[in-house]
Chain A
Amino acid sequence: MTGTITISLHLNGEAVTATLPARMSLVDFLRETMGLTGAHVGCAHGVCGACTVRVDGAAVRGCLMLAAQADGATVDTIEGLTDTGAIADLQDAFHRHNAVQCGYCSPGMLITAADLLDRATLPDRAEIRDHISGNYCRCTGYQAIVDAISEVATARTKGAA
């Protein structure tokens, strides 16, 4: 049984079926098999957060899940979330606040930020810092990222009111 497995999933809104090595991680599947290189591999042991993607709506580490486990799942990556416009406000705020330098952490950081905004209405800066504390950014020092998320949280709250 060592070898390959065939999986079907909803990837960025599309039905996808693929045959791949059983040992392939979800992030390698996305990057290598599907060409979705927005999720990055920074550590491959679940610490850095660069590979964060959404599986069935929840932010997860793409390096700590087998692609085989995504069979039947709904998977959204930065590419899909960009296309739907679901996080356009966050992307815009990150851009304006210069909350991105090298960009390697950004897709994972955005998905983590979106996860927070989906569950908390108006997080304060400490809550934002805590929520993104599993996503490593070597460049920015985090402050601009906190600024950007905080701004979007406020805007979304006003928009909802």
Chain B
Amino acid sequence: MKTNAFAYVRADTVPDALRLYAEAGEDARYLAGGQSLMAALNFRLDEPSTLIDITRVAALRGIVADADAIRIGALTRHADVADSAVITAELPLIHAAIGHVAHPAIRNRGTFGGSVALADPAAEMPACVLALGGVMEIAGQDGTRHVPADAFFLGTYETALAPGELLTGVTIQRPAPGSRWGFAELARRAGDYAMAGLCLMIAPDRRDARVVFFSISDRPVRARAAEAAIIAGASVIEVAAVATDGIEVYGDLNAGIATKRHYASVLLRRELARLDQQEAAA
């Protein structure tokens, strides 16, 4: 399996990248970590005219924290996110999830922004961003715009990114002190895409809750019924019972629709029970 023949150009800055795209046209692709794109190219599932290598755009790499928020540069590699003290301390949900992203050699090259921009419905990082209410920073010909996660993921590999736009970073507000979080997924083998996965953020006193499932639909999805039930103080069993209410669930080769619904409910029940136990112990 070899890729099609394409032109390869490098960008050193974001404007550079945007300009190269404008020159190359819509058959061009940005190449970040390449851990999904290169596989697709090797399969010839995608045959771009030009690859614009953005991996040398230094400004897109790194994690910056201020008093309110943490910004993860799009080109920050999974391995660097995993090793980040800021992420471990402030966004433990991401820290917990990132160990489930494929395998070490993939995490050494794959990027946070690449995963989010690809929007694989089975991927962990898009779900984390959605659960944490992240805001996407998007560069385009007309400047920079910001899109909240709730409006970003539109379908399988489909996002609010317009052709040629570049995801440059994701900004996540620091969760309120006392927030609780949960992450769980069921995969057939370590590092595989999950059959079902859950990201959970619950604000202190259940003032707010974000329940996000991944790998059960065409995108990471918020379980609004479950969120409402949590906020309303429902029991674990009651919340789990409405886990996938209102969610359009898609089956795959490893788990059909009924199984995915069941798994979503089990994951939610278990994580809520774990949090309750944790709270009771505290």
Interface residues of A in 58-101 (CB under 8 A from B): 58-61, 63-66, 68-69
In the assembled complex, which residues on chain B have CB atoms less than 8 Å from the CB atom of A28?
A: 2
> Known contacts being A52-B105, A112-B105, A134-B103, is A44 close to B7, with CB within 8 Å?
no
Q: B38: which of A2, A22, A66, A112 is its contact (CB, 8 Å)?
A: A66
Task: State how many angstroms separate the Cβ of B33 from the closest Cβ of chain A.
Answer: 8
Task: State how many angstroms separate the Cβ of A50 from the closest Cβ of chain B.
Answer: 11
Contact A45–B39 (Cβ < 8 Å):
yes
In the assembled complex, which residues on chain A have CB atoms less than 8 Å from the CB atom of B104?
A: 59, 112, 115-116, 131, 134
Q: B5: which of A23, A59, A60, A61 is its contact (CB, 8 Å)?
A: A23
Please count the residue pairs between chain A and chain B whose beta carbons lie under 8 angstroms apart in the complex. Answer: 98
Interface residues of A in 96-139 (CB under 8 A from B): 112, 115-116, 129-131, 133-135
Task: State how many angstroms separate the Cβ of A63 from the closest Cβ of chain B.
Answer: 7
> Known contacts being A60-B108, A133-B103, is A44 close to B1, with CB within 8 Å?
yes
Give B35-52 as 1s and 0s: 1 = Cβ < 8 Å from A's Cβ atoms. 100110011000000110
Residues on B facing A (Cβ under 8 Å)? 1-9, 31, 34-35, 38-39, 42-43, 50-51, 53, 55, 79, 102-106, 108-109, 189-191
Residues on A facing B (Cβ under 8 Å)? 1-3, 5, 21-23, 25, 28, 44-46, 49, 52, 55, 58-61, 63-66, 68-69, 112, 115-116, 129-131, 133-135
Q: 22 A-B pairs, CB-CB below 8 angstroms? A: A1-B8, A1-B9, A22-B5, A23-B6, A25-B42, A44-B1, A45-B43, A46-B35, A52-B105, A58-B79, A58-B105, A59-B104, A60-B109, A61-B106, A63-B42, A66-B38, A112-B105, A115-B104, A133-B103, A133-B189, A134-B104, A134-B105
